[in-house]
């Protein structure tokens, strides 16, 4: 049983459409939901939180369909929002006092340990915290009620590089027992990708792929070569292409076909996740030929 | 046991873990029966994905170097080190005979090949 | 029910401070003899209710309550329930101020039982009008509604208070000096209850469908 199953979900807004997105968040693993700004990541996350209802398809959490108001399931979720939603005029202590009673498995000791670890002063008001500190507070709350699923919407925004690295250890600690699952979304590929087991890539409201990160990286090929290698037959085989006076650089979905086409003629490299996202979002830049 | 991961070598991370653990087993640094860190602990320590370390362990298991037991973790298997060494020697021999065939095709004689080997050796050491 | 109680507690923690701001206003009202129960009860309790609603939407979205393991129905119910402690707090304020005023000048403030009932009904009616709008409108619309409500409550309670003080008939009526018209009381009570039920139903329907961005 997967922790989260998105089954063909769709949602239509003015000027934006999410259509037929299917993916899972697997138990005991870290899943990265990546894609450019406005690709639909936050909408997908809000569907899991029942803040937004899908027009088509269904969402399953812990094997249970989200049709009625499945509020109880949220007790098993630690949610870190992209923007702080805490009451600005309250101290962290007051804020905690408001939140704790809603969770039957709230662990005050764990919470204080995180406050210490993140160097968060309990008597400060939320509004006195920096963006990164608010994120840490949000994380401390999310990790203090034995959640089985941690959902983080753009968690690295506002975090300094030092803490981003520390976050890797923190998240790895969470999945040591194999029972917890983590989903994070990100529009920039970043340090978190290092520990992601699965990558779900959405672009313009559509699912591009859902695979283990290792497969994604090994399967794709980054081809670099002279412009004379490109012609009308070859261009369509690229996912994304960048051409300059000095040559081209392009992403292909299959390493084997890249080898077959360009072996010995061009440089064929293993792309980084960032390059895969970049070229997929960019496309072939047809406008240059119009 | 040390495991050092390079992000720029181009070699897949699971393969780097595989060959470094294999090395430690072959040199005897990891004796038969000694336990390896859990897949998740290793992933955490190296700050890489669980699936990557899992794959490395699976490869090690397939190569007969480690045994994994559910709930108990992974251990260096009792396979005879001599046997493993012989297997690898055999692999080297096979590679060498391929090289010899290739060299003949290019018209290189034994002396040329030895000279080539020596220069490659020096390069590797330097 | 436990969750609703926790949500009410949250509203209380969020906005009890507003009472502190309002106390000087109430003392001033007492001093100028404009104090009716409306000033002491309706003003602070509706003010605190509006404040708690505003805090729940402080970034334009009620994401905090939506992230909690509570149903939308519980969230709606809790806002109506929050009116109870806020009104009780207002009544407490009224009694304390009455006692203090009467220590200085005996019998300077008196409250009738009927006035008490009227004030509670007015409170319920105001909340019943405000909350469906709150659960329905976006942040911009809500800003206007909030302003209008605060104006109505702030000026209205003062004005009605003065009006009652200046009209001997009304004053006698509110003090319960002559027999109240039972039909009138029962009628208004029934009206307020109908309003409350319709309001809760509307709020529930509106919030159930709301998308939280």
Domains within chain A, CATH numbers bracketed: 4-216 (3.40.50.300), 220-289 (no CATH)
Report helix, strand or coil for C34: coil
A114-117 long-range contacts (CB < 8 A, ≥24 apart) are: A114/A139, A114/A140, A114/A143, A114/A144, A115/A140
Q: Chains B/C: 3 or more C-beta pairs closer than 8 A? A: no
Percent of chain A with pLDDT over 90: 62
Q: Report pLDDT for A52.
A: 93
Q: What is the ipTM of this complex?
A: 0.86
Pairwise CB contact (< 8 Å): B44 & A196: no
Average pLDDT over residues B32-54: 92
Question: Is residue A193 predicted with pLDDT exceeding 70?
Answer: yes
> Mind listing the pLDDT tens digit for each residue in C200-211?
999 999 998 888
C72 CA to centre of own chain? 22
Average pLDDT over residues A274-288: 76
Interface of A with C (CB under 8 A): 46, 49-53, 69, 71-75, 79, 81, 83-90, 94, 97-99, 101-103
Query: Which residue does chain A place closest to C56, by CA atoms?
Result: A87
Which residue among A165, A175, A270 sits closest to B10, beta carbon to beta carbon? Answer: A270
User: 């406008």: which residue's tokens?
Assistant: A287
Would you state the structure tokens that stand for residue A93, as one six-digit string? 């202590």
Would you state the structure tokens that stand for residue B56, as one six-digit string? 């490395």
Query: Which residue does chain A place closest to C208, by CA atoms?
Result: A69
Chain B touched by A274 (CB under 8 Å): no
Chain A touched by B11 (CB under 8 Å): no
Pairwise CB contact (< 8 Å): B47 & A175: no
Report helix, strand or coil for A25: strand
Query: Which residue does chain B place closest to A176, by CA atoms?
Result: B40
**Probe site for chain B from A172, A174, A221, A267 (most B CB atoms < 10 A):** A172
Confidence class of residue A37 from pLDDT cuts 50, 70 and 90?
A: confident
Q: Any idea what DSSP says for residue A73?
A: G
Residues in chain B with CB shorter than 8 Å from the CB of A194 are 47-49
Beta strand pairing call for A16-25 and A206-212: unpaired
Pairwise CB contact (< 8 Å): A69 & C67: no
Q: Report pLDDT for C169.
A: 65
Pairwise CB contact (< 8 Å): A103 & C69: yes
Which carries the bigger pLDDT value, residue C70 or residue C94?
Answer: C70
**Probe site for chain A from C66, C72, C75 (most A CB atoms < 10 A):** C66
Q: Any idea what DSSP says for residue A36?
A: S
Average pLDDT over residues A106-132: 94
CB C213 within 8 A of CB A11: no
Question: Is residue C109 predicted with pLDDT exceeding 70?
Answer: no
Cα-Cα-Cα-Cα torsion C142, C144, C149, C151, nearest 10 degrees, comes to: 150
> What CATH number should be reported for the domain whose range is B13-76?
1.10.10.10
Average pLDDT over residues C22-40: 71
Task: Return the closest-CA partner of residue B27 out of B71, B69, B84, B104.
Answer: B84
Pairwise CB contact (< 8 Å): A169 & B49: no
Which carries the bigger pLDDT value, residue A199 or residue C114?
Answer: A199
Give the sheet arrangement for strand A247-252, strand by strand: A240-244, A247-252, A221-225, A267-269
Which one of A53-62, C134-143, C179-188 scores highest in mean pLDDT? A53-62
Chain B touched by A30 (CB under 8 Å): yes
> Mind listing the pLDDT tens digit for each residue in C147-164?
888 888 877 776 776 766
Residue A189 backbone phi and psi in degrees, to 5 = -75, 140
C-alpha to C-alpha distance for A135 and B6, rounded to whole angstroms:
31
Residues linked to residue A60 through DSSP beta bridges, in sequence order? A5, A65
Q: Report pLDDT for C35.
A: 55
Pairwise CB contact (< 8 Å): A195 & B49: yes
List, in sequence order, the alpha helices (H) in chain A: 41-48, 92-99, 108-117, 131-142, 161-174, 213-219, 255-262, 273-282
Residue A62 buriedness (CB in 10 A; 0-12 / 13-18 / 19+): middle
Pairwise CB contact (< 8 Å): A87 & C212: no
| Chains with at least 3 CB pairs less than 8 angstroms from chain A | B, C
Pairwise CB contact (< 8 Å): C55 & A51: no
Confidence class of residue A287 from pLDDT cuts 50, 70 and 90?
A: very low
> Mind listing the pLDDT tens digit for each residue in A53-63?
999 999 999 99
Would you state the structure tokens that stand for residue A267, as one six-digit string? 């440089």
A101-128 core/surface letters (b: 16 or more CB in 10 A; e: else): ebbeebeeeebeebbeebebeeeebbee
> Mind listing the pLDDT tens digit for each residue in B57-105?
999 999 888 988 877 889 888 776 677 778 788 889 999 999 999 888 8
Residue C101 backbone phi and psi in degrees, to 5 = -65, -40
Pairwise CB contact (< 8 Å): C59 & A53: no
C-alpha to C-alpha distance for A267 and A282, rounded to whole angstroms:
21
Q: How far apart are the first and last CA of chain B?
A: 25
Q: Any idea what DSSP says for residue C57?
A: T
């Amino acid at each position: 049983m997967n922790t989260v199953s998105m089954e063909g979900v769709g949602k239509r807004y003015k000027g934006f459409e999410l259509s037929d997105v299917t993916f899972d968040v697997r138990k005991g693993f870290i899943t990265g939901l990546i894609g450019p700004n406005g690709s639909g990541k936050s909408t997908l996350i809000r569907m899991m939180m029942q803040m937004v209802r899908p027009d088509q398809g269904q969402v399953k959490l812990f094997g249970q369909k989200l049709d009625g108001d499945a509020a109880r399931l949220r007790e098993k979720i630690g949610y870190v929002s992209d923007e702080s939603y805490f009451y600005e005029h309250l101290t962290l202590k007051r804020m905690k006092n408001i939140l704790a009673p809603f969770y039957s498995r709230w662990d005050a000791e764990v919470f204080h340990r995180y406050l210490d670890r993140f160097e968060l002063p309990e008597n400060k008001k939320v509004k006195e915290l920096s963006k990164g500190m608010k994120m840490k507070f949000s994380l401390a709350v999310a990790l203090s009620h034995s959640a089985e699923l941690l959902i983080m919407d753009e968690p690295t925004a506002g975090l300094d590089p030092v803490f981003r690295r520390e976050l890797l250890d923190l998240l790895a600690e969470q999945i040591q027992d194999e029972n917890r699952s983590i989903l994070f979304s990100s529009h920039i590929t970043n340090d978190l990708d290092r520990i992601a087991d699965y990558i779900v890539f959405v672009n313009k409201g559509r699912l591009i792929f859902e695979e283990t990160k290792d497969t994604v990286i090994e399967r794709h090929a980054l081809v670099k070569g002279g412009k004379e290698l490109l012609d009308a037959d070859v261009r369509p085989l690229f996912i994304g292409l960048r051409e300059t006076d000095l040559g081209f650089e392009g992403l292909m979905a299959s390493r084997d076909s890249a080898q077959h086409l360009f072996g010995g003629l061009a440089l064929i490299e293993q792309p980084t996740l960032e390059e895969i996202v970049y070229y997929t979002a960019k496309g072939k830049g047809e406008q240059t030929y119009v | 046991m040390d495991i050092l991961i390079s992000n720029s070598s181009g070699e897949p991370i699971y393969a780097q873990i595989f060959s470094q653990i294999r090395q430690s087993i072959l040199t005897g640094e990891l004796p038969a029966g000694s336990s390896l860190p859990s897949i998740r602990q290793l992933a955490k320590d190296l700050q890489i994905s669980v699936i990557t370390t899992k794959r490395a362990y699976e490869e090690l298991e397939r190569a007969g170097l480690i045994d994994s037991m559910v709930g108990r973790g992974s251990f260096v298997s009792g396979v005879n080190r001599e046997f493993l060494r012989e297997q690898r020697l055999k692999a080297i021999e096979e590679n060498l005979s391929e090289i010899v065939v290739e060299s003949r095709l290019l018209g290189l004689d034994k002396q040329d090949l030895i000279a080539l080997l020596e220069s490659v050796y020096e390069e590797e050491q330097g | 029910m436990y969750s609703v109680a926790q949500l009410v507690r949250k509203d209380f923690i969020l906005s009890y401070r507003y009472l502190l701001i309002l106390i000087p206003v109430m003392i001033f009202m007492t001093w100028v003899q404009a104090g009716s129960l409306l000033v002491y009860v309706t003003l602070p309790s509706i003010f605190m209710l509006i404040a708690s609603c505003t805090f729940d939407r402080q970034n334009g979205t009620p994401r905090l309550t939506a992230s909690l393991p509570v149903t939308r129905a519980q969230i709606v119910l809790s806002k109506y329930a929050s009116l109870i402690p806020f009104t009780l707090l207002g009544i407490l304020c009224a009694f304390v101020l009455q006692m203090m005023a009467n220590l200085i000048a005996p019998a300077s403030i008196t409250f009738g039982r009927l006035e008490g009932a009227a004030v509670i009904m007015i409170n319920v009616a105001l909340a019943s009008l405000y909350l469906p709008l709150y659960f329905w409108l976006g942040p911009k619309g809500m800003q206007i509604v909030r302003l209008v409500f605060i104006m109505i409550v702030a000026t209205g309670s003062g004005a009605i208070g003065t009006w009652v003080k200046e009209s001997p008939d009304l004053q006698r009526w509110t003090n319960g000096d002559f027999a109240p018209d039972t039909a009138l009381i029962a009628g208004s009570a029934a009206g307020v209850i109908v309003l409350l039920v319709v309001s809760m139903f509307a709020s529930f329907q509106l919030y159930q469908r709301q998308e939280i961005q």
